[in-house]
Structure 1
Amino acid sequence: MTQSGGRMRKSLVLVLLAVAIAAGGDIRSAGLQDPPPNVVIIFTDDQGYGDLGSYGHPTIRTPHLDRMAAEGQRWTSFYVADSVCTPSRAALLTGRLPVRSGMAGDTRRVLFPDSAGGLPASEITIARMLKARGYATTAIGKWHLGHLPQYLPTSHGFDSYYGVPYSNDMDATGTELPAGEPRRRIMNPRIDYWNVPLMRNGDILERPADQTTLTSRYTDEAIAFVKGNAERPFFLYLAHSMPHVPLFRSQEFEGRSARGLYGDVVEELDWHTGRLLDTLRELKLERRTLVVFTSDNGPWAVYDEQGGSAGPLRGAKAGSFEGGMRVPAIFWWPGTIQSAVVTGIGSTLDLLPTIAALAGVDLPPGRNLDGHDLGPVLRGSAPSPRQTMFFYRARALHAVRHGSFKAHFITRPDYGNEPPVEHEPPLLYNLDEDPSEKFNVAGRHPEVVAAIQQIAAEHRKSIEPVPSQLDARIPTGAAR
């Protein structure tokens, strides 16, 4: 800028300030407020609590995410709202428990290629909320909230979409496979075993998708979006398909990790996360951008070494013990976030109200929201406002955490046909002392049990029954 140009800009600023003050307003009324922050959510699939170096994994190398954690906040008691894909994703984007939106089912726990339902049009997503504030919005990666046109991201506030509409193990090829063959395929994957489509908006670009390059292509799309919207506020929802089985990684990452194939996949995710963060730095956007990295649920432990690790936590994906719903979570925003390890409770349910407050937009009206604004925690000025977390499995409330204690009313193995077991009194664990949920202390703390039972009873009163979107199926022979 020339010297005369700088004087002109300074004079304009002074004039606008004078006008604002004369009108009885402030700087913001003169149009000089800082633009709202950019928001990036990176959501991995089936990545366990213990699968990053910063969360204690001994052999998976994640230097970019570890740096992100060191520069930002690493949360150690951060939860999703369900332990499987579809309801967890619905909760993140709406700030509502899935049982409120119909994104929890009795016969099916997630959506499938033959599912007739999806996220209802009445739900307000983070994208729709921010779009009204002038944000550019995009969804990249796994969607899994309905693959029919009326349920795709472009029907829920996203300007564009690039990705796979459901899990990468769906649309399996072949019929009447012999016993054991589906699992053998998962453990020894080939691209042609699944006819999963790669889509742009409502069009199929590639089928079957080349899953070996999904992580890199998703990141390429994310970087292009950031560069194309560097001059305006943007919301990027980057939901990786990995490390959900079947595991695929690019040729460059084959044999890179001592942890084997699973480690290769996570290390590739880390490297591409580094690419995205470097892009923000290169464009001088890092001080204007909140980046959140987390996972949709715990590891899929039934797939042995091709599933991840919940670290010290009990249980895994699909269950209501800690390993199914406590996930890694890193918040990064240089210059704004106070670097720390946060031991207070947080949840993906809290992202919508937090982002609403940061962007200066009103919360969606006329509905029960289940999140809290974590902004003061991110700035280091207050502890987490969340004291309670509800643990649902489908539409049943299985457990409640309040403060340090967690009560299990119902338990059931993560997978299998064993029926649920009801506990009266409920099992009680002190998660600060016993994060592995090994020692039932209900007999020593009857007052805590009673308090949590009362919290659960009051919560159940707030749940209004709605039809499940997960149970209905497209009639055989109908177009999908």
Structure 2
Amino acid sequence: MSLRASLLSVVALIFASAFSSQLQAAPPNVVLIISDDQAWGDYGFMGHSEIQTPHLDKLAAESLTFQRGYVPDSLCRPSLTTIVTGRYPHQHGIVGNDPPPPADLVGAAKRQIVRDPRYLEIRNRYIEHIDDETTLADFLHENLGYISHQSGKWWEGHYSRGGFTHGMTHGDRTKGGRHGDDGLKIGRTGMKPVFDFIDTAVEEEKPFFVYYAPFLPHTPHNPPARLLNKYKDKTPHLPIAKYWAMCEWFDETCGQLLDHLDEKNVGDDTIVLYVCDNGWINEENASRYAPRSKRSQYDGGTRTPIMIRWRNHVEPKMDTTHLASSIDLVPTALAAVGIDIPKDLPGINLLDSKAVADRKAIFGEILEHDIQHMTDPVASLRFRWVIEGDWKCIVPHPGREPDAKTELFNITKDPHEKNDLAADMPEKVAQLTKKINQWWKVD
């Protein structure tokens, strides 16, 4: 080789190395999509016979999709906090939707409680739990300079308290700031705030994090007429038709978001995470949830598909065997962008196939809607549960459920938990109860 050729080769290697370093220095964007009140089977790719979700079906086909995904609690506020912190409700301290009222207002009408200025102080004080947590937005911003945007359901005051640099929720309790306020418009009235944020991030060449948690398919079930008309003849129950149409409406907004990433040429450079905050089974005669769904200890409230899409990095796979939990989303995202996972996070990196295969069990806790104590999570505890392999064991806490019994289900053969086997298999119950106590022992 001539000297000139050798020099050119060295120069090429230097430029290649510099280019490689530049690529490594540009971490992927992160988009977190959170459905609000949707049953685990209410998607086309999960086998629903009527509900059409073409955009989420496509996302599932492009993702590492865990069909056996779960959230620890089947109530939105604790569940959402777990999703953004990677910690169980009893760890982050947000164990219900609304804190306890002043003692002399216990049992009073909700309207009277909300109007009491002392209750406003209590509500604002309870939000301080989030100030003690490091959220996914915090991790991304503090370590790699991400900018981030909050839209949709958000209970913890102003969006900045969740570590977001941009957002929609003002969180002022005196101006309707309970669980999202202005953020709840996203999806239902268009996608412009999220699109504008993405456009700005791309223009400024900054890595970005999008938290998209629309008030969909949550009540009010008021879908566009064009969607409701698709489902009216598919069920004799109008409330169910409305809910099905809401699921497709939510799917449409997800498609718009995913399409916008591709239109801005960042789809391949973005990790998309998907989960639902809790389940929903619609009653036949009203737009409200049925038993054994939202707020319950059963899979109708806790199970959800969990997806991770990162084109050219994560091999698409429909996983019907392994267990995943919403506690895994933060460590998965951190590992993907190159941030060390804190040792105190209980979840695993779902992109680590060995960790997924080695996991033996996942756990959860079902808590009261109305928080019973400002700092003691056990005061609100109703049930603890564990899933190990095919088996799910549910253990009631006598403090809130003195008359409930321990239940055992083979949820692969009996996914709707109709056949309680606890009385027939006391040894299995004892084994799984021991695991629950090793996870979180309560008095």
Q: TM-score range by the shorter chain?
A: 0.7 to 0.9
Match status 1:140 vs 2:151: yes
Structure 2 residue corresponding to 1:285, chosen from 266, 272, 296: 266
3-state SS, counterpart of residue 255 of structure 1: helix
Please point out which of 235, 244, 248 is paired with 2:222. 248
What residue number does 1:121 align with? 131
2:130, 2:161 within 8 Å by CA — same for their partners in 1? Answer: no
Deviation per residue, 1:310-364 (Å, 9 max, x gap): xxxx820001111110023333222222222212110111000111111111234
State the shift of 1:56 in Å: 2.1
- Deviation of 1:305 after TM superposition, in Å, equals 5.1
Residues 129 and 364 in structure 1, CA contact (< 8 A), matched pair in contact too: no
CA 1:437 to 1:13, structure 2 compared with 1: closer, same or farther past 3 Å? farther
Q: For each residue in 1:21-51, what CA deviation from the matched residue of structure 2 results, as whole angstroms up to 9, or x when unmatched?
A: xxxxxx97x5552522211111121111122
From 394, 403, 407, the equivalent of 1:421 is: 403
Q: 1:78 aligns with which of 44, 69, 74?
A: 69
**How high is the TM-score relative to the length of structure 2?**
0.77
Q: Deviations over 1:57-91 (max 9, x none)?
A: 22221111111112223322111121111100110
Distance 1:43 1:363 in 2: 22
Query: What pairs with 1:421-440 in structure 2 (closer than 5 Å)?
Result: 421-423=403-405, 426-440=406-420
CA distance in 2, matches of 1:435, 1:109: 35
Offset at residue 446 of structure 1 (A) = 4.0
Count the aligned residue pairs. 391
Secondary structure in structure 1 of the residue aligned to 2:27: coil
Q: Would the alpha carbon gap of residues 264 and 428 (structure 1) be closer, same or farther in structure 2, given more than 3 Å must change? A: closer
Query: Given the alignment of the two structures, is residue 264 of structure 1 paired with residue 245 of structure 2, yes or no?
Result: yes
- Aligned match for 2:209, one of 235, 259, 276: 235
More helix by share: 2
- Identify if the C-alpha distance between structure 1 residues 109 and 12 changes in structure 2 by more than 3 Å, giving closer, same or farther: farther
Q: Please tell me whether the aligned partners of residues 82 and 393 of structure 1 are also in contact (alpha carbons under 8 angstroms).
A: yes
Q: What is the CA–CA distance in structure 2 between the aligned matches of 1:81 and 1:218, rounded to whole Å?
A: 31
What percentage of residue pairs aligned between the two structures are identical? Answer: 29
The equivalent of 1:175 in structure 2 is none
- CA drift at 1:128: 0.2
C-alpha distance in 2 between matches for 1:57 and 1:31: 45
- In the aligned structure 2, how far is the partner of 1:50 from the partner of 1:363? 31
Shift in alpha-carbon separation, 1:99–1:303, aligned structure 2, 3 A: farther
Letter in 2 for 1:457: N
Structure 2 partner of 1:399 = 385
Kindly provide the amino acid, as one letter, of the partner of residue 411 in structure 2. L
Q: Which amino acid aligns with 1:14?
A: L
The equivalent of 2:360 in structure 1 is 387
Bigger shift: residues 389-398 or 91-100: 389-398
User: Counterpart in 1 of 2:89?
Assistant: 98
Does the 8 A contact of 1:37 with 1:290 survive in 2?
yes
- Other structure's SS at 1:434 match: coil
The structure 1 residue matched to 2:434, chosen from 454, 460, 463, is 454
The one-letter amino acid of 1:345's match is: L
C-alpha contact 2:84 2:135 (8 A) present in aligned 1:
yes
Task: Indicate the SS of the match to 1:215.
Answer: coil
- Return the offset for 1:197: 3.8
AA aligned opposite 1:73: L
- Give 3-state SS (helix, strand or coil) of 1:336's partner: coil
Describe the SS at the equivalent of 1:328: strand
